[in-house]
Amino acid sequence: MCYKRIMKAITRAPRVNTVLQVIQLMNNGMIIVDACREVGVPRSTFYDICKRNPEAVAKVQEIIEANA
């Protein structure tokens, strides 16, 4: 059981990192289509990651806002 949680966390991190990269680019003025293209992820995948990991995305956004 613990192994499954660890593996899930490991596979989730790169996806959330992708979202973080897109959000950072958008905060710098890039539109979502261009930000997704720059990171190399389809826009639909970006939205899917956000939908499946809302807590992680919210935490990332809080950190970005706190450092702005």
For residue 25, give every residue at least 6 positions away whose Cβ sits within 8 Å of its Cβ, in sequence order, or none.
34, 35, 38, 39
Q: Which domain, by its residues, includes 24?
A: 16-67
Let me know if residue 43 belongs to a domain: yes
> Rounded mean pLDDT of 5-22?
69
> Rounded mean pLDDT of 24-53?
90
- As to burial, measured by CB atoms within 10 angstroms (0-12 exposed, 13-18 middle, 19+ buried), residue 8 is exposed
Name the pTM for this structure. 0.69
Give the pLDDT score at 7. Answer: 47
Domain count, the chain: 1
Neighbour count for residue 52 (Cβ, 10 Å): 12
Highest mean pLDDT among 15-24, 32-41, 43-52: 32-41
More confidently predicted of 47 and 8: 47
Let me know if residue 3 belongs to a domain: no
Let me know if residue 30 belongs to a domain: yes
Let me know if residue 4 belongs to a domain: no
> Rounded mean pLDDT of 1-13?
54
